[in-house]
Structure 1
Amino acid sequence: MAKKKVQKTNAMRYLDRCKVDYEVHTYEHKESDPVDGIHVCQMLGQDPKNVFKTLVTQANTKEFVVFMLPVAEELDLKKCAKVAGVKHVEMIHVKDINKITGYIRGGCSPLGMKKQFRTFIDETAFQQEHIYFSGGKIGTQIEMDPNDLMKVIPIQAADLTVTK
């Protein structure tokens, strides 16, 4: 049986240019489906600690800063500000995601944004052999070694989540 051809996104084209290994996973997404990471985990049959969401914030300096963390976790804005070396960061408005990144809510990838922003990833990513994150559109996820991700974009590992 022939494998369904996946339409390349900016994130995939970026990885292709970098000549790094990755795998694409797709899932059906209906208009009525929730746009959240737990739903993505269920669709892919993956543990939430392996699937990462990409969140975009703005610092008090007006700089945009990107954070990647497991989908079931909550971003600790104070920790994020500290690792970014700023006074504070706040989430950008959903309506601004496309204008800033070129992506939409639920399809925001750390790769292939309009501009490469400083990016931080939760340190738990390195406890996984592979992580999943948005491939640049809803219904598409990229699976890759987090160490390879660090080779293709400047990314720093840190403790980013709310302690439970």
Structure 2
Amino acid sequence: MTPAVKMLESAGIEYAISEYDRHLSGDGALRDFGKEAAEALGLSDDEVFKTLIVVVEGGPRSPEMVVAVLPVSCQLSMKLIAAAAGAKKATMCDPAAAERSSGYVVGGISPLGQRRQLRTVVDESAQLFDTIYVSGGKRGLDIGLTPGDLIGVLHATVAPLTA
């Protein structure tokens, strides 16, 4: 059981676990983890959400790491995540720093059960679905839950994150 699953269990939140076999590209490289999950689970790229960690600057707690949760079909707008965090600018977090902070490996970073719970912003499109899927804390494991439960358990802000 991953820390993400343990967090949901302890909060009494209903969820569904979806596991899938990972497929490496022909050259053995890892590719787009979110799209891989959507394809393997037979889901739309819009209902599977990726977890990105950014560093925002020019805000009240600058610099600060912030979690962005958005559909795998979309690109994160740095201007919008900065605005949602009350900061002037945002940049992608160094992958090694994201792994240290979250306790997860890249491609398996969950917004749930992170080693250090960061401020989280969920893209407003999550509210269009009854169930969304986020990483369960390891590659090849996704968790399906209601957007309201995800937002509630993380005390997340909801905002537009994609241009």
Question: TM-score w.r.t. structure 2 length?
Answer: 0.91
Aligned residues: 155
Partner of residue 37, structure 1: 34
Match of residue 161 from structure 1: 162
Counterpart Cα distance in 2 of 1:12 and 1:80: 26
Counterparts of 1:49-88 in structure 2 under 5 Å?
49-60=46-57, 61-88=62-89
Residue 122 of structure 2 aligns with which residue? 121
- How much does 1:34 deviate? 2.7
Query: Which is worse superposed, 135-144 or 85-94?
Result: 85-94
Deviations 1:91-113 (A, max 9, x none): 11122221111111100000111
Q: Note if 1:24 corresponds to 2:21.
A: no
Does residue 9 in structure 1 map to residue 10 in structure 2?
A: no
Structure 2 unpaired stretches of 5+: none
Q: Sequence identity of aligned pairs in percent?
A: 35
CA distance in 2, matches of 1:30, 1:160: 29
Give how far 1:25 is off. Answer: 0.2
Task: Describe the superposition over 1:103-154 as per-residue Cα deviations: whole angstroms up to 9, x where unpaired.
Answer: 1110000011111111001100000010000000000000000011122111
User: Could you list the runs of 5+ residues in structure 1 that have no partner in the other structure?
Assistant: 1-7
Q: Please give the secondary structure, in 1, of the residue aligned with 2:55.
A: strand
TM-score normalised by L of structure 1? 0.91
Report how far residue 30 of structure 1 moved. 4.1
Deviating 4+ runs (over 2 angstroms): 30-36
Give the match for residue 106 of structure 2: 105
Residues in 2 aligned to 1:151 and 1:82: alpha-carbon distance in whole angstroms: 21
User: Quick one: distance in 2 between partners of 1:37 and 1:113?
Assistant: 18
Tell me how far apart the structure 1 counterparts of residues 82 and 32 of structure 2 sit (CA, whole Å): 26
